[in-house]
Structure 1
């Protein structure tokens, strides 16, 4: 299915301004470009374009509220200046499985002050000596690279991927009680 048709189906008779999350994974992009996504998606917070055949992000519109962008498993090798210019509030970016070969292609991401999490799994750049240290030095605003912080501590779901846990606001006591009830039949607290 092509990207424009999939976009039409995903809208489900809503206006673009009503959409907060848009998943267009595995549809086909003609000519390797983003199609159909316009500035009308003004309230979009999450956009997923995994494995759609992208070679460029040049057609990405200005999306002020976008926080999470999934671009893994495409053929993007550069042109990230567009992200810095048009996605000023981006906090999570997944570029895994793309064609980034050297650190200099990631330099435009310095202009994304809110960027906290970057994923580059299966990109050639990860094979470079001192890859992790070089990226954290280039992008000091980052908290997580490939799901780990600078001290190699793994990100929790809520920190690393931008998806809030459903029980996040319930507090430790609630989770602890559930654990005690389900762990042992003799602990009924």
Structure 2
């Protein structure tokens, strides 16, 4: 499993039932509006790159993210209870983090919010979808690397399979046409032979009739 979406599920004491470290290949995890108060109970997911935590009640305790999700590149904390720049400081340990979203968090109302965050987290490329020069992130920058490759390959395979099936159908049709033509030729040959036999029989009968008349 590379992608797991658990949006609107209910967490119990900050835990999502069934979400464990057994998901070793997980690269995308979405936990939007699940009632999380902290991220302390998230399992260790070494391959996770993108984490969606929008619309929860997280107010701090982000230090465990670097320990449990060391390869995180995209983090969405929009709509949480983050008020101070200092609560974001633990994210400095996420060396690969390049995109952070904090829409609708109180911290965004602070003076020099963007400048302060970029200074605090120099590894960031995009904050709330824009870089330091206020240039919007492209669609490819907002996705996990490699996303959609398998889907394209599957579509190509399906198209190839459909094409092969059509070729087989055409070959079957050609074979059926050939069989029909051969059958018609056989019928013509049989009918021709019957006509010859009929003519020979008529000739023999005529000669026999003449012989009887003479007698």
Q: 2:68, 2:101 → 1: CA distance?
A: 20
The structure-2 alpha-carbon separation of the partners of 1:97 and 1:80, relative to structure 1 and needing over 3 Å to count, comes to same
SS in 2 for 1:118: strand
Which position in structure 2 is the counterpart of 1:83? Answer: 65
Tell me the matched-pair count: 150
Does the CA-based 8 Å contact 1:157-1:163 persist in structure 2?
Answer: no
Q: So what's the TM-score if we normalise by structure 2?
A: 0.66
SS in 2 for 1:136: helix
Does the CA-based 8 Å contact 2:27-2:144 persist in structure 1?
Answer: no
| Residue 152 (structure 1) aligned to one of 134, 142, 146 | 134
Q: So what's the TM-score if we normalise by structure 1?
A: 0.75
Q: Which runs of 5+ in 2 are unaligned?
A: 150-215
**CA drift at 1:33:** 3.2
Does the CA-based 8 Å contact 2:49-2:73 persist in structure 1?
Answer: yes
Following TM superposition, the consecutive aligned residue runs of length 4 or more in structure 1 with deviations greater than 6 angstroms are: none
Q: CA RMSD in A?
A: 1.8
Q: Which runs of 5+ in 1 are unaligned?
A: 1-18, 168-189
Which position in structure 2 is the counterpart of 1:69? Answer: 51
Q: 2:114, 2:145 → 1: CA distance?
A: 24
Does the CA-based 8 Å contact 1:72-1:94 persist in structure 2?
Answer: yes
Q: 2:145, 2:60 → 1: CA distance?
A: 26
Which position in structure 2 is the counterpart of 1:182? Answer: none
Q: 2:87, 2:18 → 1: CA distance?
A: 26
Which position in structure 1 is the counterpart of 2:75? Answer: 93
Structure of higher CA gyration radius: 2
Does the CA-based 8 Å contact 1:116-1:141 persist in structure 2?
Answer: yes
